[in-house]
Amino acid sequence: MRSDLYLDLFLKEDTHWWHVGKRMLMEQLIRKYMPHLQEKANLLDVGCGTGRMLDMLGGFGTPWGIDMADEALDFCRQRGFHNLRRHDLNQPFDFDFDFDVISALDVIEHLEDDIQGLKNLKQALNPDGILIVSVPAYQFMFSYWDVALGHKKRYTLKTLTQAVEAAGYTIVKKSYTNTSILIPAAVVRSLKGLAGRANRKINARLLSEDTDFTSLPKPLNDFLISLYNIENRLVLTKGLPMGLSALVVCKPNPSKQNV
């Protein structure tokens, strides 16, 4: 991930609609699929970024965060979090306890071997716990933004499901998310991509300076938060047939303990 984006994330994730809506969805998923969490529960945010998700997880137990970037962990410490480790998801975990909830949001698309990364997460997950995985959707949406973030690929719900099941999990919920912004995002990124291909300076700026986390006027930002929350309710019930992201909630499959 481009290093300047950590500061951008730190400054915006408290209020930006994308981050607020994602935290609301994660909280709702945990309440639905882990309703009996105890105060002593341990929750892990993989790719914790600058730490705002840890605040939410702290409402359920003890939050832990891992990230590959020292800049990200430094920002987490500024928020007052210290249960942090620099860790490469390609490597096995060495915690001496299991986690009841693990969130890996926009993480496995950074890996060359996503299945192995998911297997490593399973080793750290309580047999009765849940893993929540969210990834960017649709390869045709791959753009300058994915390059800036360090993505290897994007997924469909089918390919995400295949990877998760191959790693030894049973899926309890799957859905697309962020349906309403799929077409606007596709249009904006396509236009920026065309401009970048036509002009080297524009392309260089897109890769080195641009961000899709644009600050919006408060009324519009609040509207998008409300829209995100409406979609979250559909994700929790029927699911959404398309969207900018794909999501699964899964548990370790007891019949595939050695996978």
Within-domain flag for 215: yes
Within-domain flag for 244: yes
Within-domain flag for 259: no
Residue 180's domain spans which residues? Answer: 4-253
pLDDT of 208:
59
pLDDT of 211:
72
* pLDDT one-digit tens code per residue, 99-128: 999 999 999 999 999 999 999 999 999 999
Going by C-alpha positions, the residue among 61, 48, 162, 156 that lies closest to residue 105 is: 48
Burial of 195 (0-12, 13-18, 19+ CB in 10 A): middle
pLDDT of 101:
98
The segments of the chain whose pLDDT lies below 50 read: none
Within-domain flag for 258: no
Within-domain flag for 185: yes
Within-domain flag for 155: yes
The domain spanning residue 202 has which CATH number? 3.40.50.150
- Please, are residues 145 and 106 in contact by the beta-carbon 8 Å criterion? no
Going by C-alpha positions, the residue among 151, 158, 154, 92 that lies closest to residue 119 is: 92
Within-domain flag for 29: yes
pLDDT of 51:
96
Within-domain flag for 60: yes
Count of the separate structural domains present in the chain: 1
pLDDT of 3:
73
* pLDDT one-digit tens code per residue, 145-169: 888 888 999 999 999 999 999 999 9
pLDDT of 233:
97
* pLDDT one-digit tens code per residue, 167-188: 999 999 999 999 999 999 888 8
pLDDT of 222:
97
* pTM for the predicted model, two decimal places: 0.92
